[in-house]
Amino acid sequence: MRASTWIVCFLLLSGCDALDFAIGRSSSFTAQPSALSACGSSAVVRLSWNTRPSGQQNVAIFVRQGDEEKLFAHGGPEGSQETGPWVGPNTVFTLRSRDDGRELAHFTVGSESCGPATFDPVTFDVQPATLSACTPGAIVRLSWDVRNSGHQGVALYLRQRDEEKLFAYGGPEGSQETGPWVRPNSVLTLRSRDGSRKLASLIVGFERCDPTGKNRRLGER
């Protein structure tokens, strides 16, 4: 019997399992979503894998962002794992053998194009907007809304003459009363929570007054 005939007979008797092994079916490794908006800062993705066809029983998943690759998770021959909200476009995931470090599969999270970000103006208001020039100090209520700017927190500053001081912190939307120390021409500034970026500012105006009371209208006290 020739050698080639013997090999065919052997494969038939063994059910051709050896032939499947020789073909070496590849592992599957996917992510959902597989592409992220280039305008988004980060997102959660779900990784799924199946290395049963390759016979690999233990795997390790690595993540690369920029030039740094880190171990993300371990798993068995089949499974899924969610990331945290830190995946951005062009993040590379690599599936490796946990036993010898051999690469089994990899992919790069794609990038969806998007138009330039457009935001509505930040709103910043004060009531009352004007104070009597005869008033030594008054309470005013500040209102703001920076939700469309993407800022999650703000800081409020007050400037009187040449000195600016932190007055209060707040969320992306809210209102806050001052103490009875606001005077005409006080400058109120809305900044990012760390104070590094100016979002809006306003000046409390002043109303003229008559300290003698001679110009009061009839009936006023």
Beta strand 130-132 pairing with 110-112: unpaired
Q: With CA atoms as reference, report the closest residue to 188 among 196, 172, 199, 180.
A: 199
85 and 153 both lie in a single domain: no
Report the CATH number at residue 180.
2.60.40.1930
Beta strand 35-37 pairing with 110-112: parallel
Q: Residue 25 has what pLDDT? A: 55
Q: Answer yes or no: is 16 within a domain.
A: no
Number of residues in the chain = 221
**Domain limits for position 178:** 123-207
The total domain count for the chain is 2
32 and 71 both lie in a single domain: yes
Tell if the pTM clears 0.85, that is, is over it: no
106 and 129 both lie in a single domain: no
Among candidate residues 52, 82, 112, the one where a domain is terminated: 112
137, 182 contact by CB (below 8 A)? yes
pLDDT tens-digit readout, 128-166 = 888 888 878 889 999 999 888 788 899 999 987 778 899
135 and 166 both lie in a single domain: yes
Q: 135 or 9, which is more confident? A: 135
Q: Answer yes or no: is 56 within a domain.
A: yes
Query: Measured between alpha carbons, how far is 97 from 117 in angstroms, rounded to an integer?
Result: 42
Q: Which residues contact 98 (CB under 8 A, 6 or more apart)?
A: 58, 59, 60, 74
